[in-house]
Amino acid sequence: MGADGDGEAAEPTVNVAANLAEVRSRIDARVEECHRAKGSVRLVAVSKTKPTELLREAYDAGQRAFGENYAQELMTKASEMPQDVSWHFIGPLQSNKAAPLVKKVGLPQLACVETVASMKLANKLNNAVDSLVKDRGEGEDSKANTLGIYLQVNTSGEESKSGLMPGAELIDLARDVAATCRRLSIDGLMTIGAPGDFSCFDALVQCREEVADSLGVEVDSLDLSMGMSGDYESAIERGATSVRVGSTIFGARDYSNLNK
């Protein structure tokens, strides 16, 4: 199951702009109903397996944040899309793919890796960003020279799901990354959760409070990436600041020609 949990039934035609407008309208309505600030929820359009042409339709309709599950697909699409796109990597990332991903997509185009759940991956990403910064010869301490990451949490406890367990495992990694990975910025937490189990969202909210306390930062400085095509409105009700919506915008997926 991918990080936006959408179905795969075939759809003959897709009006990306209209679908995108509908999703944005629903997000805005739910934000208003929850008495939250306008613009407080980011929409990440999950475009895995979709051709660049459909991404460009979304871009032309004003979308700038896109999510991809596969490293090679993200690298390819990043080279084909405008430079002001913000890419979120939302799938499992093998540590040996960290350096190519950072180097080929670059900063700040690679805005966030949402699926960090080990020190090994964190170190690989940190080293890759450090090498990129040195190659570019830019200021050492510039915010532009850090990569945003989310710590992925397994809020459902399912063995099939990736992520850190809430509690000590999550807190320990957060502290270790903050202490040793100067090229990474812990910008939030991410979860996939179990379908229909909204307690997973509540669990991530609690995790954010604990991580913020352990790092000595404001709770609101950390994003909550939760909610997908089937449940993003419920996620917003429970505090999501970033939702990942795929097939509702782009239509059903076709994995037949996917090059991972």
DSSP line for 216-230: T--GGGSEEE---TT
Tokens describing residue 25? 């309208």
Residue 135 pLDDT grade (very low, low, confident, very high; cuts 50, 70, 90): confident
**β-strands 184-190, 147-152 pairing:** parallel
pLDDT in tens, 18-66: 999 999 999 999 999 999 999 999 999 999 889 999 999 999 999 999 9
What element of type H or E holds 59?
Answer: helix 52-60
The pLDDT of 232-240, averaged and rounded, is 97
In a domain, 144, yes or no: yes
167, with CB counted inside 10 A (0-12, 13-18, 19+), is exposed
Rounded CA-CA distance 257/191 in Å is: 28
Q: How many domains does the chain have?
A: 1
In a domain, 7, yes or no: no
* Amino acid letter, 56: R
Residue 138 pLDDT grade (very low, low, confident, very high; cuts 50, 70, 90): low
Phi, psi values for residue 42, rounded to 5°:
-85, 135
| 49: CATH | 3.20.20.10
In a domain, 227, yes or no: yes
In a domain, 256, yes or no: no
pLDDT in tens, 58-90: 999 999 999 999 999 999 999 999 999 999 999
pLDDT in tens, 97-107: 999 999 999 99
- Of 127, 149, 173, the residue nearest 222 (C-alpha): 149
In a domain, 186, yes or no: yes
Containing structural domain, residue 232: 16-250
In a domain, 141, yes or no: yes
